Amino acid sequence: MLSNQKNSQFETLVRAYSAELYRYAYWICRDRFVAEDLVQETFTRAWQGWEGLRDDKAAKSWLYTILRNEHARSFERKRFDIDDAADLDGLIDHTTARPYEEIELRQMLAALPRGYREPMVLQVLGGYSCAEIAKIMEINVGAVMTRLTRARLALRKLAGVVAPRKVNNL
């Protein structure tokens, strides 16, 4: 009976978060198949550690942490094959109506240091609070808030948006 209840709870967890985890995994790696593998491995590790989860409310951030660690683990022994002869000028992403704006946004996000980029993505895509991001990234809440503020300022600077200044009235 206990095993059936465990299975049922875990199936509910998978249904609730698989699409959201896939979106985050895809954002991280930009490869559909790698993202699917990351999500699958995340749920495999979650199943193995299911007994250790004390608070069901922490399951979402726990899954994101597992996924993030799995992605990092995939680079430990990975060797990249680089094709110097590939023509990169002919590659255009036709998935959006405004590809240049999307490319510009991706470039601005990529220009951010990873320490600023990751909390920004977790907040915007994942909808996490600063406390949840701190738990996922294993840093304190103040550091998350600082990184988010600096990320926003850097994005504004990269976009050429000037913050409003106080004007002295004469």
Check which CATH number belongs to the domain holding 147 and give it.
1.10.10.10
Q: Do 62 and 114 sit in the same domain of this protein? A: no
The answer to whether position 50 is within a domain reads yes
Q: List, in order, residues 6 or more apart from 143 with CB less than 8 Å away.
A: 134
- State the average pLDDT for the chain: 79
The answer to whether position 170 is within a domain reads no
Q: What's the domain range around 106?
A: 98-160
Q: Do 110 and 57 sit in the same domain of this protein? A: no
The answer to whether position 91 is within a domain reads no
List pLDDT tens digits, range 89-121.
665 555 555 666 777 777 888 888 888 888 988
Q: What is the CA radius of gyration of the chain?
A: 20
Q: Decide: pTM greater than 0.85.
A: no
Q: Give residue 149's Cα distance to chain centre.
A: 17
